[in-house]
Chains A and B, each alone.
Chain A
Amino acid sequence: MNTQTERWIDVGYLNDIPRRGARCVKVPGYTVALFRTGDDQVFALEDKCPHKNGPLSQGIVHDGCVTCPLHNWVISLATGEAQGADEGKVATIPVKLEGGRISIDIGVAAVRAA
């Protein structure tokens, strides 16, 4: 695999995502879930639970984690790792929040899709 350059893409406003909620961004090959916490931090994960591919974007967001809607695994937004006794990890995507606008590094995303 070649070394990938960063490729930041603006995907919308912070206020497009409800607090303690999520929205999706479709990138080539898969879907990114963008989360906004109660205190306006933004995280990006692949929208695919490490357990059985549940759409994490549809879960309940709490304390820097999201609870998967299918079987209630709790996934850390910052590291993508399953919490507690469950084991697994979902890919995290670099994300930036600047002046209320969100961008993600699709360079990384493109590599993943390849």
Chain B
Amino acid sequence: MKKKLVVIGNGMAPGRALETLFKKAPGDFDVTIFNAEPRVNYDRIMLSPVLSGEKTFEDIVIHDDAWYAEHGVTLLKGEKIVHIDREKKTVMSENGVTSPYDHLMIATGSTPIVIPVPGHDKNGVVTYRDLDDVDQMLEAAKKRKNAVVIGGGLLGLEAAAGLQMQGMNVTVLHLMPTLMERQLDPAAGYLLQRAIEDRDIRVITKANTHEILGDDEVTGVALDDGTVIPADIVVMAVGIKPSTAVAEAAGLEIGRGIIVDDAMRTSDPDISAVGECAEHRGMCYGLVAPLYDMAKTLAARLAGDETAAYTGSVTSTKLKVTGIDLFSAGDFAEAPDREEIVLRDAAAGVYKRLVLKDNRIIGVVLYGETKDGAWFFQMMKDGTDVSELRETLIFGQGYAGGAPLDPTAAVAALPDDGEICGCNGICKGDIVSAIAEQGLSTIDDVRAVTKASGSCGSCTGLVEQLLALALGDAYNPAAVQPMCPCTDLGHDDVRRLIVAKELKTIPAVMQELEWKTSCGCAKCRPALNYYLVATWPGEYEDDYQSRFINERVHANIQKDGTYSVIPRMWGGMTTPGELRAIADVAEKFNIPSVKVTGGQRIDLLGVQKEDLPAVWADLNAAGMVSGAAYAKGLRTVKTCVGTDWCRFGTQDSTGLGIKIEKMMWGSWTPHKVKMAVSGCPRNCAEATCKDFGVICVDSGYELHFAGAAGMHIKGTEILCTVATEEEALEYCAATVQLYREQGRYLERIYKWADRVGHDTVRAQIVEDQERRNLLYRRFLYSQKFAQIDPWAERVAGKDWREFTPMSDISRLEAAE
């Protein structure tokens, strides 16, 4: 007597189980399949090529009608099972078709998750799971223009690429900061985003969908930040959940999926579950490889092999978008007991990262070149000890002692019009051809002929690398001090390359400049963040996690973890109202110390972090803005009383100091910047030991720069004398802008000026009027984005998380 096997669902998992079963035990079973989808078994993972037009449905069919006939299988298409009667051992479909079983195989797969935002039920909102979804998308692509895909994971990106190839304008909205964050680290996520954007697909990360707009039909998607993106079709690809409803109603044990043991049996021994609907040892899978392993075990069991067991799978991921090569597997999180090997080839767009623990591979991320994926994956699954291979492991299986990494690669990869020398506007092509045509062989030759690196000198390293590229071993560039152990490049080279290669995010810098670590360190991250802020005003989005705490909260951390707050007092001037507000705040928040600083303003010391927003709110209400008291930025502009009161005063020193402070505040600089304006050479405001100082004289204003009075005491140098306040302001801003563009992170103005030469600074600011004017304008432009009172912003709720504990359970009674 043949046993009666009933299968619910006709996806890839039961398809494979039946194939194996018919081989192992031909003729043992009489099989009936109920399938909610009105069609035969097809290769679901190939839906994306069908969507993009690279394949047809016929190409992806796994079992055609003839196959079912040949194996005597009854396939009921379009029959969805709604009820299992475990006592009578029967199943019933929506249309009332019933069938008895000896053994029941549940293979209902998964259901796409639809996020319940307002409007999610409008016409034109689709998911991406089966051929009907693909047909709906293809239909839309014929008549309509704009598509939005919610979800930048595997499915979302495949849908986006497909719709784009069908001629739609596609926008991908992704909640997280980088694409496919579950499979890729941020570095690979950056490369992927670039490749997706290269196909004219717009990607918006950190995008929180607020509402889907339209009457009956979708017309657009609104984000939490108010952005509206027009859409004629919205594809939701935010995740899947195992389809367990029928099994649950039948009283089977359910966790996230239908719980099965190693024999793929559910809590009822006559019922097994296989595929995405099953939960095995706490895992639900969403990829075919593990499902095939499950299917093999189940088939063996049904064929009578009592020892067959499924013990779980290790999975790997690939993205099926033509032209994008990406592979990931295992666990690639950072932890101190792990080591990483990173290889970046910026020119080829390659990023490879292996994560090792105890000399075994536990995680792999490959981007751009994935041919060794299977090799790494196998070693990872086998737990192979890789100590012997370590040195060359990352180069892959085919490695045969090739050349070590070329440190000049980043420069080699620059286009001919990539700018090398910012001071003199010299491009790579100019230098390379000068070297070749005029037989140059030293840095001095290049300087003499092209002027490159002849001014501030910060591009010397790059010019040397060009010489090395042209002359090979014959040239030996002077060693540069690397920024930190994450890179071989020095600060200046990094800065110039950020400009020349138009790098606009930290992951972009790390990839293109071949950083040796995956996410940098506490030394390079703040420096890169500054370089990007300074280079791309208005474009770069500040990375707060790469800033020192004082700049994240705009207050200074104290030895006991409290903060000090110093409101700005323009030019050292204050009013009774401001003083009253400060006094009130001090009392209201029990601030233990109030001190007059050496910078002509008042310090509130010992503020609790949680109180910071409220303290600022009160100070803001009294008209005061942030002092950015301890930022790498403008600190104070000290003034003296000048012509307003003083019998020696020659100019309005207080007024000019206030004007300077109002122009300069908020600007980020490589290190702190302090200024002062004195009304006469008696110099009561100590202008001659400041980063920038002004001494007023009868004929105008004597401008000073590059002084300091901290660890090193340094009198200023004279820049020049100007006649008007307007000129004083322009020269001041231009000097600071030059420093912002050339200074190395944590280098004060006096150190920068020592390094590049005071005369070089004078030449650029005083003698070159056009250049000064450009610098001045660049400074003012960047201030448009910088002069946002950080306190007001935070009082309004920005980064509120920074200031509140995530959770307070301190009142909870201690467990007995």
* B-side contacts of A27, CB under 8 Å: 809-810, 812
Interface: B815 (CB within 8 A): yes
Q: Could you say which residues of chain A place their CB within 8 Å of the CB of B335?
A: 41, 64, 77-78
Q: Is A50 an interface residue (CB 8 A)?
A: no
Please tell me if B219 contacts chain A, counting CB pairs below 8 Å: no
Q: Mark B520-563, 1 if CB is under 8 A from A, else 0.
A: 11100110000000000000000011111100000001011100
Taking CB atoms and an 8 Å cut-off, the chain A residues in 12-62 that contact chain B are: 12, 16-21, 23-29, 31, 34, 37-41, 52-55, 58-62
B270 within 8 Å of A (CB atoms): no
Q: Are A62 and B336 in contact (CB under 8 A)?
A: no
In the bound assembly, the distance between CA atoms of A72 and B484 in angstroms comes to 15
Rounded to whole angstroms, the CA-CA distance of A16 and B546 in the bound complex is 18
Cβ–Cβ < 8 Å partners of A53 in chain B: 560-561
A114, B815: Cα distance in complex, Å: 10
Chain B, 620-671, CB within 8 A of any chain A CB: none
B334 and A38 form a contact (CB under 8 A)? yes
B758 close to chain A: CB less than 8 A: no
Q: How near does chain A come to B544, taking the closest CB pair, in angstroms? A: 7
Q: Chain A contacts of B185 at CB under 8 A? A: 38-39
Q: In the complex, what residues of A have CB within 8 A of residue B557's CB?
A: 55, 58, 69-70
Q: Does the CB pair B545–A78 fall under 8 Å? A: no
Q: Does B814 contact A (CB under 8 A)?
A: yes
Q: Which residues of A contact B522 (CB under 8 A)?
A: 59-60, 62, 67, 72, 74
- When C-beta atoms are compared, the residue in chain B nearest to A113 turns out to be B814
Q: A26-B808, A26-B810, A29-B810 are in contact. Are A77 and B549 (CB under 8 A)?
A: no
Give a binary string over B495-524; 1 marks a CB under 8 Å from any A CB, 0 the rest. Answer: 000000000000000000000011111100
Given A60-B548, A67-B522, check contact A34 B806 (CB 8 Å): yes
Q: Are B812 and A28 in contact (CB under 8 A)?
A: yes
Which DSSP category, helix, strand, loop or mixed, fits chain B's interface? loop
Q: How far is the CB of A8 from chain B (nearest CB, A)?
A: 11
Nearest CB in chain B: distance from A102 CB, A: 8
Complex partner residue of B561 from A54, A63, A64, CB under 8 angstroms: A54
Contact A11 B806 (CB under 8 A): yes
Asked if B337 lies at the interface with its beta carbon under 8 angstroms from chain A, I say yes
Asked, given contacts A23-B806, A26-B808, whether A110 binds B815 with beta carbons under 8 Å apart, the answer is: yes
Q: Is the CB–CB distance between B521 and A37 below 8 Å? A: no
Chain B residue numbers with a CB within 8 Å of A18 are 544-545, 801
Which residue in B333, B525, B809 is a CB contact (below 8 Å) of A37?
B333
When the two chains form their complex, are residues A65 and B809 in contact, meaning their CB atoms are under 8 A apart? no
Say whether A90 faces chain B, with CB atoms less than 8 Å apart. Answer: no
Which of the listed residues A11, A21, A58, A74 has the most CB atoms from chain B within 10 Å of its own CB? A58
CA distance A54 to B801 in the complex (A): 20
Give the complex CA separation of A55 and B563 in angstroms.
12
Whether B521 pairs with A78 at a CB distance below 8 angstroms is no
**CA–CA, A65 and B807, complex, Å:** 23
CA distance A61 to B549 in the complex (A): 11
Please tell me if the beta carbons of B812 and A106 are within 8 angstroms of each other in the complex: yes
Q: Complex Cα distance A40/B405, Å? A: 31
A114 contacts across to B, CB distance below 8 A: 814
- Establish whether residues B815 and A106, one from each chain, have CB atoms under 8 Å apart when the complex forms: yes
A95 to B603, CA, bound (A): 39
Is B186 interfacial (CB 8 A cutoff)?
A: yes
B302 to chain A, nearest CB (A): 34
Q: Contacts A16-B801, A24-B805, A27-B810: A65 and B336 contacting too (C-beta < 8 A)?
A: yes
Query: Which residues of A have CB within 8 Å of B338?
Result: 64
Instruction: Judge whether A12 and B806 touch: CB under 8 Å.
Output: yes
B contact residues around A17 at 8 Å (CB): 801, 806
The distance in angstroms between the C-alpha atoms of A40 and B519, with both chains bound, is 13
Contact A61 B545 (CB under 8 A): yes
Q: Which residues of B sit under 8 angstroms from A5, Cβ to Cβ?
A: 815
Determine the distance from Cα of A11 to Cα of B547 in the docked complex, in whole angstroms.
Answer: 26
- Across-interface contacts of A70 in B (CB, < 8 A): 557, 559
Task: List, in ascending order, chain A residues with CB within 8 A of B805's CB.
Answer: 23-26, 31
Contact A25 B337 (CB under 8 A): no
Shortest distance from the beta carbon of B77 to any chain A beta carbon, whole Å: 36
A53 CA to B801 CA, complexed, in Å: 22
Any A CB within 8 A of the CB of B53 = no
- A20/B814 in contact, CB under 8 A: no
Contact with A along B715-728 (1 / 0, CB 8 A): 00000000000000
Shortest A112–chain B CB gap in Å is 10
Residue B177 at the chain A interface, CB threshold 8 Å = yes
Q: In the bound complex, what is the Cα–Cα distance between A65 and B177 (angstroms)?
A: 21
Contact status B806-A25, CB under 8 Å = yes
Query: What residue of chain B has the Cβ atom nearest to residue A60's Cβ?
Result: B522
Q: Does B59 interact with chain A (Cβ within 8 Å)? A: no
Q: Is A94 an interface residue (CB 8 A)?
A: no
Q: In the complex, A54 Cα to B518 Cα: how many Å?
A: 27
Q: How far is the CB of A96 from chain B (nearest CB, A)?
A: 13
Residues of A61-97 whose CB lies within 8 A of B: 61-65, 67, 69-70, 72, 74, 76-79, 83
A55-B336 in contact (CB<8A)? no
Most central of B546, B559, B805 by chain A CB within 10 Å: B805
CA A17 to CA B802, docked complex, whole Å? 9
B545: which of A12, A55, A60 is its contact (CB, 8 Å)? A60
A11 and B549: CB pair below 8 A? no
Of residues A7, A27, A63, A107, which shows the largest number of chain B Cβ atoms within 10 Å of its Cβ? A63
Residues of chain B contacted by A52 (CB below 8 angstroms): 559
B417 at the interface (CB under 8 A from A): no
Whether B518 and A24, one on each chain, are in contact in the complex, defined by CB atoms closer than 8 angstroms, is: no
Complex contact A11–B519 (CB within 8 A): no
Cβ of B752 < 8 Å from any Cβ of A? no
Chain A residues near B518: list those with CB within 8 A.
38, 63
Q: Which residues of chain B have C-beta atoms less than 8 A from A41's C-beta?
A: 333-335
Contact residues in B for A9 (Cβ distance below 8 Å): 809, 812
Complex CA distance for A72 and B181, rounded to whole angstroms = 30
Can you name the residue of chain A whose Cβ is closest to the Cβ of B814?
Answer: A110
Partner of B181, one of A4, A11, A40, A67: A40
A11, A59, A77, A106: which contacts B336 (Cβ < 8 A)? A77
B806 surroundings in chain A (CB, below 8 A): 11-12, 16-17, 23-25, 34
Bound complex: CA A114 to CA B816 (Å): 10
Question: Which residues in A have their C-beta under 8 angstroms from that of B333?
Answer: 37, 39-41, 64
A16 to B815, CA, bound (A): 26
Q: CA A70 – CA B548 in complex, angstroms?
A: 10
Residues in B whose Cβ lies below 8 Å from that of A31 = 805
Please state if B808 and A25 are interface contacts (CB–CB under 8 Å). Answer: yes
A83 to B520, CA, bound (A): 16
| Assembled-state Cα–Cα distance A67/B548 (Å) | 10
Measured between alpha carbons, how far is A66 from B520 in the docked complex, in Å? 12
Q: How far is the CA of A78 from the CA of B809 in the complex (A)?
A: 23
Q: B739 contacts the other chain (Cβ, under 8 Å)?
A: no
Contacts of B526 in A (CB 8 A): 60
Residue B42 CB within 8 A of the other chain: no
Q: Mark B268-288, 1 if CB is under 8 A from A, else 0.
A: 000000000000000000000
CB of B363, distance to nearest CB on chain A (Å): 10
Complex Cα distance A64/B545, Å? 14
17 other contacts beyond A63-B519, A64-B333, with CB at 8 A cut-off?
Answer: A7-B815, A11-B809, A12-B807, A23-B806, A26-B809, A27-B810, A38-B334, A38-B519, A39-B186, A39-B334, A41-B335, A52-B559, A55-B557, A60-B546, A60-B547, A61-B545, A62-B522
- Nearest 3 pairs between A and B by C-beta? A23-B806, A67-B522, A110-B814
Q: Which positions in B face A, CB cutoff 8 Å? A: 177, 181, 185-186, 332-338, 517-522, 525-526, 544-549, 557, 559-561, 801, 805-815
Give 30 A-B contacts (CB < 8 Å), ordered by A residue: A11-B807, A11-B809, A12-B806, A12-B807, A16-B801, A19-B545, A21-B544, A23-B801, A24-B805, A25-B809, A26-B810, A27-B812, A28-B809, A38-B186, A39-B185, A39-B186, A39-B332, A54-B561, A55-B557, A58-B561, A60-B545, A60-B546, A63-B521, A64-B334, A64-B336, A76-B336, A77-B335, A78-B335, A79-B337, A106-B815
